[in-house]
């Protein structure tokens, strides 16, 4: 291409870099805003804080849900173990778990950039854009800075895959052991990592069956011993709470909606990633990145359709797509392909010339497709310049924050979060805590953060009780009795995820007398119903 063409290429690459850096800036502002918020933002964060607090006391969070405080976790312990030392110095809090999540997302971005640089002919600019593209994803934006294990598991998965890509073909034992250790860590961070483990061992078997079988044996032995220890130490509750309780109903519409959204947001990178998979399949050898991408897109997409799942289930496929598309773009620009009859039939030199304009244009298109940002305050001028306006709403209050999300909030399972929290949200949380402090009795709250802030027991985990109930593993007689006898001074509901008979008991023995709006949700405060006679025997 001529010099003017190269200048255009560099100008477009600079524009793409600025666009993706802006996405990273918005992400950082969002993370900082969440880190400063002392209550639940995403449903379930408070129970992750409670898991961390229990593990800081060297207690497993897999408890008997039939006895007070009727609490248990359904997640593996590693993420909470990483956060547990913070409890010793700062007590139970949200900020350090959210900081760990944000740091993990940055680590994934760096790992992606390193993989693209290493396997993409050392194109630093494409490696940078590939790493930034991960942070620009709406799905990553949602889960990154939360006190959840969702992004940490992807960090371990990405590390394992990138390490294996280099270590296994070379027979590097230390590298393989380190990669398998990361894969084991991923599995005990979140059960969904089994998909990545499956992809990794399929690839290893294709490259070296004997070595792969040896690795599988060692990996299975180590993982099985940890599993057995957790089950024995918890008196069998690990199996019930973390395995049995995670079998949920499949929602077809949710799976299809999330898959369409996944493609609509990330198509500018998914198509090049799929093209590289085809090139490897027909003219080269399938890389671990390709098998990882296919497995996490297919199986992860199906898993995203289960009740309680969501867009986080597709994040590993986005990481894989960022790597594959980055390598594909680098090879296009360098015209560096392994010789084959299929590729020789293509005008590769012309494609390389056109890619100087096409590659940055695709990254620019991706940046626009994944755009999400506040539309008020310091971002108002930028929003006006970009021509975007608030397009999501709570429909419940006038002072809601302005926020634009290219994904909208239409797909089921897509988290309705991302906006910045306001002083009104902080004040509302403090108001709920004040209500708790007004009673001397235990409090049953669907968000654990309020009880933690008030120094009270965290009673129950509603989604866990629901899952156990549907699996035939929860009766709840004692909890119903406590509700019937109004032994809770206050009940706080947000999504009403409790099993039906628990909600029915609440409706009989308690009366809804106050609603406090916080963080986009109506929190219903239920107080003991006057002159109520319990129906159950003491």
Per-residue pLDDT of the chain (538 residues; tens, 9 = 90+): 567 778 888 999 999 999 999 999 999 999 999 999 999 999 889 999 999 999 999 999 999 999 999 999 999 999 999 999 999 999 999 999 999 999 999 999 999 999 999 998 889 999 999 999 999 999 999 999 999 999 999 999 999 999 999 999 999 999 999 999 999 999 999 999 999 999 999 999 999 999 999 999 999 999 999 999 999 999 999 999 999 998 888 999 999 999 999 999 999 999 999 999 999 998 889 999 999 999 999 999 999 999 888 999 999 999 999 999 999 999 989 887 776 666 666 666 777 778 889 999 999 999 999 999 999 989 999 999 999 999 987 755 556 678 999 998 888 888 889 999 999 999 999 999 999 999 999 999 999 999 999 999 999 999 999 999 999 999 999 999 999 999 999 999 999 999 999 999 999 999 999 999 998 889 999 999 998 888 755 4
Please check whether residues 243 and 361 belong to one and the same domain: yes
Please check whether residues 395 and 345 belong to one and the same domain: no
Give 215-222's long-range contacts (Cβ < 8 A, gap of 24+): 215/176, 215/180, 218/180, 219/180, 219/183, 219/184, 222/180, 222/184
Residue 447 domain flag: yes
Return the pLDDT at 538: 47
In contact, 258 and 274? CB cutoff 8 Å: no
The residue with tokens 């209500």 is 435
Alpha-carbon gap, residue 143 to 447, rounded angstroms:
18
In contact, 409 and 392? CB cutoff 8 Å: yes
Residue among 355, 361, 349 at smallest CA distance from 11: 361
Please check whether residues 331 and 393 belong to one and the same domain: no
Please check whether residues 237 and 377 belong to one and the same domain: no
Residue among 249, 250, 238 at smallest CA distance from 191: 238
Residue 77 domain flag: no
Task: Domain count for the chain, please give it.
Answer: 3
Report the alpha-carbon angle 166-172-176, nearest 5. Answer: 75
Report the relative pairing of strands 403-405 and 443-445 from DSSP bridges.
Answer: unpaired
Please check whether residues 219 and 190 belong to one and the same domain: yes
Alpha-carbon gap, residue 512 to 43, rounded angstroms:
21
Return the pLDDT at 283: 82
How distant, in Å, are the alpha carbons of 111, 172, 185, 223, 330 from that of 156? 10, 19, 7, 15, 25
State which H helix or E strand residue 325 sits in: helix 315-334
Alpha-carbon gap, residue 338 to 265, rounded angstroms:
31
The residue with tokens 């996944």 is 262
Residue 57 domain flag: no
Alpha-carbon gap, residue 263 to 235, rounded angstroms:
44
Alpha-carbon gap, residue 472 to 531, rounded angstroms:
34
- For the purposes of burial, counting CB atoms within 10 Å of the CB of 29, is it exposed (0-12), middle (13-18) or buried (19 or more)? middle
Residue 54 domain flag: no
Please check whether residues 378 and 363 belong to one and the same domain: no
Q: Mind listing the pLDDT tens digit for each residue in 104-118?
A: 999 999 999 999 999
Return the pLDDT at 536: 55
Residues listed for the chain: 538
Dig out the tokens for 306 from the structure.
């289960």
Please check whether residues 376 and 513 belong to one and the same domain: no
In contact, 299 and 309? CB cutoff 8 Å: no
Alpha-carbon gap, residue 60 to 53, rounded angstroms:
10
Return the pLDDT at 348: 66
Residue 21 domain flag: yes
- For the purposes of burial, counting CB atoms within 10 Å of the CB of 38, is it exposed (0-12), middle (13-18) or buried (19 or more)? middle
Residue among 83, 333, 59, 90 at smallest CA distance from 189: 83
Please check whether residues 447 and 459 belong to one and the same domain: yes
Q: pTM for the whole thing?
A: 0.95
Residue among 149, 223, 150 at smallest CA distance from 184: 223
Paired strand residues for 522: 517
Please check whether residues 448 and 522 belong to one and the same domain: yes
State which H helix or E strand residue 257 sits in: helix 252-283
Question: Which domain does 169 fall in, by range?
Answer: 3-41+94-369
What does the DSSP 8-state code read for residue 455? T
Please check whether residues 333 and 243 belong to one and the same domain: yes
Residue 391 domain flag: yes
State which H helix or E strand residue 513 sits in: strand 510-518
Alpha-carbon gap, residue 279 to 201, rounded angstroms:
22
Return the pLDDT at 352: 72
Please check whether residues 491 and 461 belong to one and the same domain: yes
Return the pLDDT at 335: 82
Residue 280 domain flag: yes
How distant, in Å, are the alpha carbons of 98, 155, 157 from that of 101? 5, 10, 14
Return the pLDDT at 101: 98
Residue 78 domain flag: no
Please check whether residues 463 and 334 belong to one and the same domain: no
Q: Mind listing the pLDDT tens digit for each residue in 268-324?
A: 999 999 999 999 998 889 999 999 999 999 999 999 999 888 999 999 999 999 999
Paired strand residues for 524: 493, 515
């Amino acid at each position: 291409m001529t010099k003017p063409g190269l200048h255009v290429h560099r100008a477009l690459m600079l524009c793409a870099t600025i666009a993706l850096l802006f996405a990273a800036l918005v992400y950082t502002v969002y993370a900082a805003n969440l880190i400063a918020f002392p209550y639940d933002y995403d449903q379930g964060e408070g129970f992750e804080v409670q898991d961390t607090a229990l593990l800081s006391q060297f207690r497993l969070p897999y408890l008997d849900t039939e006895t007070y405080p009727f609490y248990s976790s359904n997640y593996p312990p590693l993420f909470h173990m990483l956060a547990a030392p913070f409890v010793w110095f700062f007590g139970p809090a949200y900020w350090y778990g959210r900081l760990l999540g944000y740091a993990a997302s940055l680590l994934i971005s760096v790992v992606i950039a390193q993989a693209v640089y290493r396997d993409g002919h050392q194109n630093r600019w494409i490696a940078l854009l590939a790493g930034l593209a991960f942070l620009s994803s709406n799905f990553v934006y949602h889960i990154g800075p939360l006190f959840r294990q969702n992004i940490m598991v992807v960090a371990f998965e990405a590390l394992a895959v990138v390490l294996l890509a280099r270590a296994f073909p070379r027979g590097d034992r230390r590298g393989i052991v380190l990669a398998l250790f990361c894969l084991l860590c991923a599995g005990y961070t979140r059960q969904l990592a089994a998909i990545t483990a499956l992809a990794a061992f399929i690839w290893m078997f294709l490259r070296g069956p004997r070595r792969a079988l040896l690795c599988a044996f060692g990996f299975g032995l180590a993982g099985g011993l940890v599993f057995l220890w957790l089950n024995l130490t918890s008196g069998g509750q690990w199996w019930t709470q973390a395995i049995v309780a995670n079998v949920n109903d499949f929602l077809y519409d949710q799976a299809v909606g999330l898959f369409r959204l996944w493609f609509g947001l990330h198509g500018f990178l998914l198509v090049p990633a799929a093209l590289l998979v085809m090139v490897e399949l027909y003219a080269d050898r399938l890389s671990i990145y390709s098998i990882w991408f296919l497995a996490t897109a297919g199986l992860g997409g199906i898993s995203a359709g289960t009740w309680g799942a969501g867009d986080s289930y597709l994040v590993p496929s986005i990481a894989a797509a960022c790597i594959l598309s980055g390598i594909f773009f680098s090879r296009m620009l360098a015209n560096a392909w392994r010789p084959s009859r299929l590729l020789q039939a293509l005008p590769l030199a012309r494609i390389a010339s056109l890619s100087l304009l096409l590659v940055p244009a695709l990254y620019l298109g991706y940046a626009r497709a994944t755009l999400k940002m506040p539309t008020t305050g310091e971002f108002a001028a930028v929003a006006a310049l970009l021509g975007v306006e608030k397009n999501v709403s709570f429909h419940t209050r006038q002072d809601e924050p302005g926020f634009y999300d290219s994904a909208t909030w239409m797909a089921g399972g897509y988290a309705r979060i991302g906006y910045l929290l306001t002083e009104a949200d902080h004040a509302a949380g403090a108001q709920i805590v004040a209500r708790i402090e007004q009673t001397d009795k235990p409090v049953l709250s669907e968000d654990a953060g309020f009880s933690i802030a008030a120094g009270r027991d965290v009673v129950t985990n509603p989604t866990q009780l629901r899952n156990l109930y549907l699996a035939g593993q929860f009766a709840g007689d004692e909890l119903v009795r406590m509700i019937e006898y109004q032994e809770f001074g206050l009940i706080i509901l947000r999504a009403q995820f409790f099993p039906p008979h628990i909600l029915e008991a609440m409706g009989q023995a308690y009366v809804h007398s106050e609603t406090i709006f916080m963080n986009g949700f109506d929190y219903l405060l239920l107080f003991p119903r006057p002159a109520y006679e319990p129906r159950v025997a003491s």
